[in-house]
Each structure stands twice: as C-alpha cells, then as structure tokens.
Amino acid sequence: MAKKFDFKRIGMKVAGVGVGAVAGKIADKPMANMNPKLRGIIKVGVGAVVPELMPKNEFIGAVGAGILAMGASDLYDSFTGKTGAPVSGLGAYPDNALGSPSDTALGATQDYTMTEMSGTEEYMNGIGDSE
C-alpha cells in the first residue's frame, strides 16, 4: 500500500528550518566582533536549546535545527578557514589566485591569463567570447 505524505507537516518543517537558518545568518551582525569559533558554539547551543522551550511544537524544533546547522557551518568555517566555500573549487578563489575574490566566484565569466605555457604567454577568453 502506498504511503501518504503529510505535506502540511513537511512544509512546516521546511519553513522552520529555513527560518532558523535565516535567524542564524541575521545573528551574525550583532556578533560580528566576536571570535568565529565562539559565535558558532553559541549558535549550536541556542539551536539545541530552542526546541526544548516548546517540545511539542514541531515548527520551533525545526527552527532550532536551522540555527544549529548555521552554527555548525560557522564552526566548520572557523576551523578550516574556508569561509563561504566549504568545498574546494567552489565559490571565491583565495586572494592569491587569478583575479580578485569578488569577481572569481563559480560561474563568473572573465578573461584569465595563463603564463609559462611552452615558454610563451597564452590567453584564454571567458566563456561565450567569440574572438
């Protein structure tokens, strides 16, 4: 027999985790001068405690999960130093790579210079250029 999904319950869980993630991101502004590790630990703690305030409310539990997830992400970033790009190769390049960090995010199209290729300087145009 086919299992029936409770789409209202699923929707509330998705909305709760989303609200928690946004709340975790908004919390970065007042805690901007704080050590990133401490900021992550605080978010994880708040995310773990929030569901206990209203244990029968699934939405609040999902909000806590979202906050906790943002805190765990912040902790990961603080220990690895890969803020904004947790997977190698995705997101902005480090400062010493080609271009500037703001314009070299994944999907950006621009001209890159490749040097020391067979002793000469070669150019590779950005995607979509017709030169």
Please report, in angstroms and rounded to a whole number, the separation of the first and last CA atoms in the chain.
60
C-alpha Rg value of the chain to the nearest Å: 22
- In the structure encoding, which two tokens stand for residue 106, read together? 């994944």
Query: Which parts of the chain sit beneath pLDDT 50?
Result: 86, 88-90, 93, 104, 111-112, 115-123, 125
Element spanning 13, H or E: helix 7-26
Q: How much is the pLDDT for 4? A: 86
**Tens digits of residue pLDDT in 31-62:** 889 898 999 999 999 999 999 999 899 999 99
Chain center to CA of 38: 18
Q: How much is the pLDDT for 83? A: 64
Q: How much is the pLDDT for 130? A: 55
